[in-house]
Amino acid sequence: MKENVDHRVPVLIVGGSLVGLCTSLFLGRHGITHMLVEKHAGTSLHPRGRGINVRTMELFRVAEVEDRIREAASVLADNHGILQGGSLTGDDQEWLFEQIDPGGALARFSPSTWCLCSQNDIEPVLMSVTPRLGADLRFSTELLSFEQDESGVTAIVKNRDTGEHSTVRADYLVAADGPRSPVREQLRIGQSGPGDLFHNVSITFRSRRLADVIGDRRFIVCYLTKPDADGALLPVDNRERWVFHAPWHPDRGETLEDFTDERCVEHIRRAVGAPDLDVEITGKAPWHAAERVAQRYAAGRVFLAGDSAHEMSPTGAFGSNTGIQDAHNLAWKIAAVLNGAAGPGLLETYEAERLPVARATSERASARSAEHSHPGYEPEPEAVPEAPARGGGRQSGVLAVAMGYRYAQGAVVGADPDLPVVPDRMRLCGDPGSRAPHLWLRDPVAGRRRSTVDLYERSFVLLSSEGTPWSGAAGSVAKRMNVRLDAYAIGTGPEADLIPQDGGDWAEAHGTTPAGAVLVRPDGFVAWRSAEAVADPESVLYKVLTTVLDRY
């Protein structure tokens, strides 16, 4: 179907929420023009999905939007902990943890930190950037149908304002169209997992006196556990705008109409423990916590990302972050294939890498909801984990999920298939298939400090010591294969491209010797590592890149 086409684009993104817009951002950073269609008229209005983990903030850092996102999130910059109690006025509150990063240990692993930025605040930031990167954003535009053949995808879209239909021809389609994904349904891709976990109604409200009740307790969320008024309270601005998640039980015949303003006001007052609290309801939105993962992430030239590929319990904010990281993994691979640097087999590694991560992460998210006794969640007894000690150990486990996961197979050479996809503890030491370690370096030419994380985005990168033949080999391979491969010689001598800072040892950090080398992918994951010198580094590196990029 190549006749009567109104628009031709390399990539069509279906869904303009957080993951769809991030897919747009990452494709744009790789120079890939694309169209995004979203059936709603604009971005999210309801405060939700606001926990951005450190790995996602690294991606925004490299994509040069981190500062804008932190500015949009500045009102909640001092909110860190998770509080739990029968109410906010009793004496039974306790911190599940009081600081996200107690003692500043995170600085050993990353140049970035966590961030609280609601979806309704972050999406406008992304929308302001992506059009300049080649994005054609079309809101109020709905995907009606699509079909694919060996060379591309043909889609019919409808402008919901005018009723006009258009035909879009794309090389690839990315479905970021939510948990009820019509694209996934048309592809007949099934899902696995326990399914629905619990249901809530998210209530936005105004209250000026609630800030006085809370005082100086700056929490991310407070779980209120009073049996007749449980729920989760979240600040929006710490002053007068708030969100309350009230349990909803449709399995018991409860309907959304039952959540009248009067009922919501009374519920919030009882939960807080302030019977005369001023409460003005400003909005209500149902949401469903579930654990489901698509059985496939791709069918031909169509790929799933975000909620269309996986649903997770909200505790830990793993769902949206996993979706954004899906988009990041997929974007560089699509770009490499479209630019001729890689064969089409590279795109098969998207599912091989991201599907196991989603399964492992969704299980951790459900376990964390049980551990925190999330309001409305009533897991089977065997699903409730034994609670670990409060504090650092717990947060170390969260960090391992957020950025310590590994790709046992895919676009990697030499990954250990026996290591768990998500480890129990944070450990980043240059293993193939893991996120490359963070190390501070100084650029002697630019005279500025850079993290190794900042090196990875639009090309493969080879790290080695100055005075070794690896950089020369990388230059020869890049020319021979016509791919972008940036090589950095690290050391303290005159031939060094980068100088270690703060006593850092790049080889030790990456699990190699000064004679070895590490090849890092554009997404910052280690593609391959040589612990020692080799007799013919050019031949070895050529073979590795040929394998990773499916250039046989």
Q: Which of 525, 541, 516, 536 is nearest to 465 (CA)?
A: 516
Residue 381 confidence (pLDDT): 52
* Furthest C-alpha separation in the chain: 79
Tokens of 256: 């959304």
Q: Which residue has the tokens 């033949």?
A: 469
Q: Which amino acid is at 98?
A: E
Beta bridge partners of 434: 406
Centroid of chain to Cα 235: 22
CA atoms within 13 A on the CB side of 287: 18
Q: Provide the sign of the torsion angle of the four alpha carbons 429, 473, 513, 504, taken in this order.
A: negative
Cβ proximity of 462 and 486 under 8 Å: yes
Residue 457 confidence (pLDDT): 97
Angle, CA 309 vertex, CA 299 and CA 24 arms, to 5°: 85
Q: Which amino acid is at 187?
A: L
Residue 385 confidence (pLDDT): 45
The 3-state DSSP class for residue 41 equals: coil
Q: Which of 302, 279, 283 is nearest to 208 (CA)?
A: 279
pLDDT along the chain (552 residues), means of 10: 81 97 98 98 81 96 97 92 92 87 86 92 96 97 97 98 97 97 97 92 96 94 92 94 94 93 97 96 91 97 98 86 98 98 98 97 85 63 45 61 95 95 91 98 92 97 98 98 98 95 95 98 98 97 98 89
Tokens of 319: 């769902």
Residue 376 confidence (pLDDT): 64
Q: How far apart are CA 181 and CA 302, in angstroms?
A: 13
Q: Which of 410, 409, 2 is nearest to 167 (CA)?
A: 2
Classify burial at 275, counting beta carbons within 10 Å of its beta carbon; exposed 0-12, middle 13-18, buried 19 or more.
Answer: exposed
Q: Give the CA-trace dihedral at 293, 19, 13, 407, to 10 degrees.
A: -50
342-348 own/partner pairs: CB under 8 Å, 24+ apart: 342/549, 342/550, 342/551, 343/549, 343/550, 343/551, 343/552, 344/550, 345/550, 346/411, 346/548, 346/549, 346/550, 347/298, 347/303, 348/298
Q: How far apart are CA 32 and CA 333, in angstroms?
A: 11
Q: How far apart are CA 336 and CA 431, in angstroms?
A: 23
Would you say the CATH fold of 440-548 matches that of 7-63+113-188+295-387? Answer: no
Residue 384 confidence (pLDDT): 44
Q: How far apart are CA 86 and CA 233, in angstroms?
A: 12
Q: Where are the domains of the chain?
A: 7-63+113-188+295-387, 440-548
Q: How far apart are CA 306 and CA 320, in angstroms?
A: 7
Cβ proximity of 114 and 54 under 8 Å: yes
CATH level 3 topology of 7-63+113-188+295-387: FAD/NAD(P)-binding domain (3.50.50)
Residue 18 confidence (pLDDT): 96
Q: Provide the sign of the torsion angle of the four alpha carbons 270, 282, 370, 250, taken in this order.
A: positive
Cβ proximity of 2 and 169 under 8 Å: yes
- The class of domain 440-548 in CATH terms is alpha beta
DSSP string, 154-195: EEEEEETTT--EEEEEEEEEEE---TT-HHHHHHT--EEEEE
